[in-house]
């Protein structure tokens, strides 16, 4: 209090001013240095991300085909209104939603279960772990073709196994609902190990002392799993969920190889429609508008999930 | 000039000369002509033949993709960026309209080359695989690989006296290769014996690329239907006309005599069924006969015969035999910088000697080979193929082909899967096709009425009686 009340001398003012200037100089040179270091990455990022996104949005307002090279005709929001009033696009959103829901649910359940088993130390654990990771290393197109042959109604192994136990053969890829489950099974086979990998890492990161204390308090294994293991590994599992949600939402290559979008157009995802409109139809303007819609949805979804993740991380 | 200076100069000249020679040699060795095609027997044949190209400084490099949309998209994407990642490509006859603006117009090549002239190809073949617009005399592709839909059948079953006797007892006529789809239905029904693992008929119905529609169109045209009216651009009333519905319904009905799930089949599955003797008859491209007749590939190679596809007697009582054209034209990328080398290669490749080698496994478009007396005996199916050439029909020759095709594929695949009736599927396809044409700027001139049998009004091919072919 005494220091605050003391009169400020001109010398003192000058010294404070000089100190402030020095601090500002230091801060600005620091900023300059940071900017200098960041600028190459920023330039690359701008070129690689901002420019394509800007172009995408720009082209979405034109009637334009990259292949036919006709003059670009501005059409305002016509591409958007055409797409959003097309009932087939909504059918694709519904199908994509169903696919994402089934895949992510199955992958999370199987991945967490397998991950929980793999966190335990047992002989041969590393070998099993490596084998489980193998589907994840394959390209989705390869997985699609592989499953296409396995699910062949006449000579595929799946129907062979079904008929060997007296069950009727199923036309997996020729019926809308069966094709949805077939695609979900292929995607789950490929990506459940990814969840298992992250879940194992998260489960093994929980301090053993917490479990010991819970055991002393008489907590059952189920109680320990639901009240300790799951909550404490929630941030990691949530990241896995976000990654799988986004990835499943933009699934394209699996369907190209597995169903070709059929029967009819019943297994066309939104990403499939974007690729088809852009590179088969070469309706570049319309495809750009569809890509913008998809981008907005994925960005919105990611923002919501990341906000939850932040809250969750603060909690645990 | 002293000795040292002279030595330095001579050394420099020697180095420069060596460098120039080396670079010239490198340039020669580096001349690669890249082509895009779908992988398969015919692409392999081209690569094999090209190995004997006398100019060893030129190398033919294949950039092969699976048959289907990837193949179209690879060519289209390169054209969109006006790139020269490939120098020439084989594309479907119906893609010429879409790619013409990016391809070299071959009329100039015909004028300048001493050998490569339009008249070395049958006019109908050159027109089918390279002309755009139809009838314009402007060519963008050479008939490098002709193809047609055909019929593959189990000779051993058709020639079995017990089968012949049983068939005659049941249907009151001789068992023979069917001339109409009405006959084919009976033969297919007769041979459908799931308990023996034998089925009567296999055909493509899959959603991919053009699988379902190349097959369904063959029925549609034979029953007198049409995809659209090329004069008025009307699709409604043509694609969903009663005759078109009859045709596509006959196509869908044939799945009853196919292996379960064959509604989703592509050519791979049809080939497997043929090669395993699972079907008595199959609708398949002549393109695959090379492998289906090869004992190294098929254990039924010596038991299969090849024939021309049936026709149909339509609701107007007229007989028509029409089926899808296959194969590809060879077009040149106009952004390629190797046109002189490419012209020389093509002048060599389209010589009868090379094309005769090609014709042993695939279908050439060179007149000299097609007209040679030994061509029909080169394999077990060329004779039928030469007959089939007279009955070919094609999709729309419009730049909007990929969109129109995809819309029709969606609907035919849905009808084959049973999720829509044939009438509903064709009406929906007609609606979508018209919308696509309107968006592309075509003016649809709606007539006062639409025909029950559209073929009667668009280049009619109907005949009063069934005209059998061998």
* A41 lies in the same domain as A146: no
Q: Are strands B199-202 and B392-393 parallel, antiparallel or unpaired?
A: unpaired
* B177 lies in the same domain as B317: yes
Q: Does B399 reach chain A within 8 Å, measured CB to CB?
A: yes
* Numbers of helices and strands, H then E, in chain A: 15, 2
Residue A117 has pLDDT above 50, yes or no: yes
Last residue of a domain, one of B393, B422, B447: B393
Residue A123 has pLDDT above 70, yes or no: yes
Query: Tell me, what's the pLDDT at A7?
Result: 63
A169 → closest Cβ in B209, B260, B269: B260
* B282 lies in the same domain as B406: yes
Q: Does B113 reach chain A within 8 Å, measured CB to CB?
A: no
Best CA proximity match to A255, nearest among A188, A183, A150, A170 = A183
Total domain count, chain B = 2
Chain B residues with CB under 8 Å of A262 CB are 206-208, 264, 410, 413-414, 417
**Contact criterion met (CB below 8 Å) for B363 and B150:** no
Chain B residues with CB under 8 Å of A79 CB are none
Total domain count, chain A = 2
φ, ψ dihedrals at A164, nearest 5°: -70, -20
Best CA proximity match to B114, nearest among B435, B351, B395, B370 = B351
Residue B112 sits in a domain whose CATH number is 3.40.190.10
Query: Tell me, what's the pLDDT at A10?
Result: 79
Best CA proximity match to A65, nearest among B393, B365, B376, B76 = B76
* B152 lies in the same domain as B112: no
A263 → closest Cβ in B98, B403, B419: B419
CA distance A172 to A186: 12
Chain B residues with CB under 8 Å of A263 CB are 207, 263-264, 413-414, 416-417, 419
What's the average model confidence in pLDDT over A191-195? 96
* B193 lies in the same domain as B115: no
* Numbers of helices and strands, H then E, in chain B: 19, 11
CA distance B411 to A266: 11
DSSP reduced 3-state for B308: strand
CA distance B271 to B284: 8
Angle between helical axes of A140-150 and A176-204 (0-180°, round to 10): 130
| Domain contains A1 | no
* B26 lies in the same domain as B98: yes
Q: Does B206 reach chain A within 8 Å, measured CB to CB?
A: yes
Give burial (CB, 10 Å; 0-12/13-18/19+) of A220.
exposed
Ordered DSSP codes for A238-265? HHHHHHHHHHHHT--HHHHHHTTT-STT
- Partnered with residue B63 across adjacent β-strands are B36
Query: Tell me, what's the pLDDT at A155?
Result: 84
DSSP reduced 3-state for B64: strand
Q: What's the domain range around B23?
A: 10-147+325-393
Q: Does B83 reach chain A within 8 Å, measured CB to CB?
A: no
Contact A280 B207 (CB under 8 A): no
- Partnered with residue B61 across adjacent β-strands are B34
* A47 lies in the same domain as A163: no
- The residue of B74, B78, B80 whose CB has the most chain A CBs within 10 angstroms, and thus the best one to mutate to test that interface, is B80
Contact B261 A265 (CB under 8 A): no
| Domain contains A5 | no
Closest alpha carbon within chain B to A179: B264
Q: Does A283 reach chain B within 8 Å, measured CB to CB?
A: yes
What's the average model confidence in pLDDT over A25-29? 79
Q: What is the largest CA-CA distance in chain B?
A: 109
* End-to-end C-alpha distance for chain A, whole angstroms: 42
Tokens at residue B370, please? Answer: 């097609």
Q: For residue A80, give how far its alpha carbon lies from the nearest alpha carbon of chain B (Å).
A: 15
CA distance B195 to B350: 50
Q: Are strands B88-92 and B31-38 parallel, antiparallel or unpaired?
A: parallel
* A50 lies in the same domain as A179: no
Tokens at residue B15, please? Answer: 């180095």
Reported as a single tens digit per residue, the pLDDT across A38-87 is: 899 989 988 888 999 999 999 999 999 999 876 789 999 999 999 999 99
Last residue of a domain, one of B393, B425, B448: B393
- Partnered with residue B151 across adjacent β-strands are B283, B307
Q: Does A160 reach chain B within 8 Å, measured CB to CB?
A: no
Residues of chain A above pLDDT 70, percent: 97
* B72 lies in the same domain as B187: no
* A58 lies in the same domain as A195: no
**Contact criterion met (CB below 8 Å) for B250 and B416:** no
Q: Does B209 reach chain A within 8 Å, measured CB to CB?
A: yes
Can you list the positions of beta strands (E) in chain A?
Answer: 62-63, 73-74
CB A63: neighbour CB atoms within 10 A? 17
Contact B272 A155 (CB under 8 A): yes
CB B419: neighbour CB atoms within 10 A? 17
* A20 lies in the same domain as A168: no
* B210 lies in the same domain as B353: no
State how far the alpha carbon of A247 is from the alpha carbons of A137, A299, B332, in Å.
Answer: 15, 12, 39
Angle at B260 between CA B255 and CA B265, to 5 degrees: 70
* B344 lies in the same domain as B435: no
Chain A residues with CB under 8 Å of B406 CB are 276, 280-281
Ordered DSSP codes for B186-230? HHHHHH-BGGGTBEEEE----SSTTHHHHHHHHHHHHTT--S--T
Closest alpha carbon within chain B to A268: B410
CA distance A174 to B417: 6
Query: Tell me, what's the pLDDT at B26?
Result: 45
* A46 lies in the same domain as A156: no
B207 → closest Cβ in A67, A152, A263: A263
* B174 lies in the same domain as B136: no
| Domain contains A145 | yes
What's the average model confidence in pLDDT over A193-210? 94
Predicted model pTM = 0.87
Contact A263 B278 (CB under 8 A): no
Q: Does B198 reach chain A within 8 Å, measured CB to CB?
A: no
Query: Tell me, what's the pLDDT at B4?
Result: 53
Q: Looking up tokens 């080939």, which residue turns up? A: B271
| Domain contains A2 | no
Q: pLDDT higher for A291 or B21?
A: A291
* A185 lies in the same domain as A131: yes
Q: Looking up tokens 């890829």, which residue turns up? A: A173
Contact B259 A259 (CB under 8 A): no
CA distance A247 to A245: 6
Q: What is the mean pLDDT of chain A?
A: 91
Q: For residue B427, give how far its alpha carbon lies from the nearest alpha carbon of chain A (Å).
A: 14
- The residue of B73, B83, B95, B207 whose CB has the most chain A CBs within 10 angstroms, and thus the best one to mutate to test that interface, is B207
Reported as a single tens digit per residue, the pLDDT across A253-271 is: 999 999 999 899 999 999 9
**Contact criterion met (CB below 8 Å) for B205 and B215:** yes
Chain B residues with CB under 8 Å of A67 CB are 76, 79-80, 98, 102
* B334 lies in the same domain as B274: no
Contact A69 B262 (CB under 8 A): no
Query: Tell me, what's the pLDDT at A34?
Result: 87
Contact A280 B272 (CB under 8 A): no
Verify cis geometry, omega within 30 degrees of 0, for the bond prior to B357.
Answer: no
Contact B263 A263 (CB under 8 A): yes
Can you list the positions of beta strands (E) in B18-139?
Answer: 31-38, 58-65, 88-92
| Domain contains B243 | yes
Contact A262 B406 (CB under 8 A): no
Q: What's the domain range around A59?
A: 10-74
CA distance A10 to A181: 81
Closest alpha carbon within chain B to A286: B439
* A147 lies in the same domain as A58: no
Best CA proximity match to B251, nearest among B161, B188, B165 = B188
Give the contacts of A229 (CB within 8 A, at least 6 positions apart). A116, A203, A206
Per-residue pLDDT 10s for chain B (470 aa) are 455 555 554 555 555 544 444 444 444 557 999 999 999 989 999 999 999 999 999 999 999 998 888 899 999 999 999 999 999 999 999 999 999 999 999 999 999 999 999 999 999 999 999 999 999 999 999 999 999 999 999 999 999 999 999 999 999 999 999 999 999 999 999 999 999 999 999 999 999 999 999 999 999 999 999 999 999 999 999 999 999 999 999 999 999 999 999 999 999 999 999 999 999 999 999 999 988 999 999 999 999 999 999 999 999 999 999 999 999 999 999 999 999 999 999 999 999 999 999 998 899 999 999 999 888 888 889 999 999 999 999 999 999 999 999 999 999 999 999 999 999 999 999 999 999 999 999 999 999 999 999 999 998 999 999 999 97
Angle between helical axes of B181-191 and B242-253 (0-180°, round to 10): 20
Residue A263 sits in a domain whose CATH number is 1.10.3720.10
Contact B263 A280 (CB under 8 A): no
Chain B residues with CB under 8 Å of A155 CB are 272
CA distance B235 to B436: 11
| Domain contains B254 | yes
* B89 lies in the same domain as B216: no
Radius of gyration from C-alpha coordinates of chain B: 25
Q: Are strands B58-65 and B31-38 parallel, antiparallel or unpaired?
A: parallel
The sign of the torsion formed by the CA atoms of B188, B189, B194, B196 equals negative
Q: Looking up tokens 């695959």, which residue turns up? A: B288
* A158 lies in the same domain as A57: no
| Domain contains B412 | yes
Closest alpha carbon within chain A to B429: A264
* B381 lies in the same domain as B403: no
Candidate from A5-14, A183-192, B123-132 with smallest mean pLDDT: A5-14
Best CA proximity match to B358, nearest among B91, B45, B144 = B45
Q: Does A261 reach chain B within 8 Å, measured CB to CB?
A: yes
Best CA proximity match to A229, nearest among A208, A252, A250 = A208
* A98 lies in the same domain as A16: no
* End-to-end C-alpha distance for chain B, whole angstroms: 88
Contact A174 B264 (CB under 8 A): yes
Last residue of a domain, one of B360, B393, B426: B393
Q: Does B77 reach chain A within 8 Å, measured CB to CB?
A: yes
């Amino acid at each position: 209090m005494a220091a605050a009340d003391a009169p400020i001398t001109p010398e003192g003012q000058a010294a404070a001013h000089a100190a402030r200037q020095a601090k500002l100089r230091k801060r600005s040179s620091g900023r300059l240095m940071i900017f200098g270091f960041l600028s190459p990455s920023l330039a690359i990022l701008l070129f690689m991300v901002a420019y394509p996104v800007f172009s995408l949005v720009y082209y979405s307002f034109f009637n334009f085909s990259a292949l036919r090279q006709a003059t670009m005709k501005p059409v305002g929001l016509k591409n958007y209104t055409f797409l959003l009033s097309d009932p087939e696009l909504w059918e694709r959103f519904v199908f994509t939603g169903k696919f994402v829901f089934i895949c992510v649910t199955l992958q999370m359940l199987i991945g967490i279960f397998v991950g929980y088993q793999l966190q335990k130390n047992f002989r041969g654990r590393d070998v099993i772990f490596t084998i489980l990771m193998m589907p994840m290393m394959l390209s989705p197109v390869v997985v699609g073709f592989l499953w296409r042959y396995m699910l062949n109604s006449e000579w595929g192994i799946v129907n062979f196994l079904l008929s060997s136990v007296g069950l009727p053969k199923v036309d997996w890829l020729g019926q809308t609902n069966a094709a949805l489950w077939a695609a979900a099974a292929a995607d789950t086979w490929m990506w459940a190990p990814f969840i298992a990998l992250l879940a194992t890492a998260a489960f093994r990161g929980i301090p053993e002392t917490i479990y010991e204390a819970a055991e002393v308090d008489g907590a059952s294994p189920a109680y320990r799993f639901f009240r300790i293991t799951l909550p404490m590994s929630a941030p990691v599992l949530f990241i896995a969920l976000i990654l799988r949600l986004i990835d499943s939402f933009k699934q394209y290559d699996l369907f190209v190889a597995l169903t070709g979008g059929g029967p009819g157009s019943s297994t066309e995802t939104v990403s499939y429609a974007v690729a088809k409109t852009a590179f088969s139809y070469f309706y570049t303007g319309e495809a750009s508008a569809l890509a913008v819609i998809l981008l907005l949805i994925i960005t919105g979804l990611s923002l919501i999930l990341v906000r939850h993740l932040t809250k969750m991380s603060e909690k645990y | 000039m002293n000795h040292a200076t002279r030595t330095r100069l001579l050394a420099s000249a020697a180095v420069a000369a060596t460098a120039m020679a080396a670079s010239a040699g490198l340039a020669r060795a580096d001349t690669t002509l890249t082509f895009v095609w779908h992988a398969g027997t015919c692409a392999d044949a081209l690569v094999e033949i090209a190995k004997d190209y006398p100019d060893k400084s030129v190398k033919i490099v294949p950039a092969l993709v699976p048959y289907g949309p990837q193949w179209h998209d690879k060519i289209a994407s390169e054209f969109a960026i006006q790139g020269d990642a490939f120098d020439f490509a084989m594309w479907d006859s119906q893609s010429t309209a879409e790619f013409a603006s990016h391809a070299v117009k071959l009329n100039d090549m015909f004028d300048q080359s001493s050998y490569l002239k339009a008249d070395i190809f049958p006019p109908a073949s050159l027109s089918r695989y390279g002309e755009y617009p139809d009838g314009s005399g402007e060519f963008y592709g050479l008939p490098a690989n002709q193809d047609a839909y055909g019929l593959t059948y189990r000779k051993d079953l058709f020639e079995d006296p017990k089968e012949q006797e049983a068939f005659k007892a049941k249907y009151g006529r001789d068992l023979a290769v069917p001339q109409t789809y009405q006959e084919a239905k009976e033969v297919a029904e007769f041979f459908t014996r799931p308990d023996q693992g034998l089925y009567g008929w296999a055909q493509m119905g899959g959603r991919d690329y053009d699988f379902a529609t190349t097959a369904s169109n063959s029925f549609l045209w034979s029953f007198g239907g049409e995809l659209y009216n090329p004069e008025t651009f009307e699709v409604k009333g043509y694609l969903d006309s009663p005759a078109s519905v009859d045709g596509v319904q006959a196509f869908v009905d044939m799945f009853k005599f196919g292996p379960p799930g064959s509604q989703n089949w592509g050519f791979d599955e049809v080939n497997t069924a043929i090669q395993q003797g699972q079907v008595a008859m199959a609708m398949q491209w002549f393109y695959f006969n090379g492998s289906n007749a090869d004992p190294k590939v098929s254990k039924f190679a010596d038991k299969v015969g090849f024939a021309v596809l049936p026709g149909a007697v339509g609701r107007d009582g007229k007989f028509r035999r029409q089926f899808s054209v296959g194969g590809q034209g060879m077009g040149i990328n106009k952004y390629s910088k190797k046109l002189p080398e490419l012209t020389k290669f093509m002048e060599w490749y389209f010589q009868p000697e090379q094309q005769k080698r090609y014709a042993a496994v695939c279908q050439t478009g060179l007149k000299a080979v097609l007209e040679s007396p030994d061509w029909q005996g080169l394999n077990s199916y060329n004779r039928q193929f030469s007959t089939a050439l007279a009955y070919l029909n094609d999709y729309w020759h419009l730049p909007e082909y990929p969109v129109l095709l995809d819309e029709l594929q969606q609907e035919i695949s849905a009808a084959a899967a049973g999720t829509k009736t044939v009438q509903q599927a064709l009406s929906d396809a007609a609606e979508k096709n018209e919308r696509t044409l309107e968006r592309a700027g075509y003016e649809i001139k709606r007539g006062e009425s639409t025909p029950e049998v559209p073929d009667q009004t668009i280049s009619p091919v109907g005949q009063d009686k069934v005209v059998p072919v061998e």
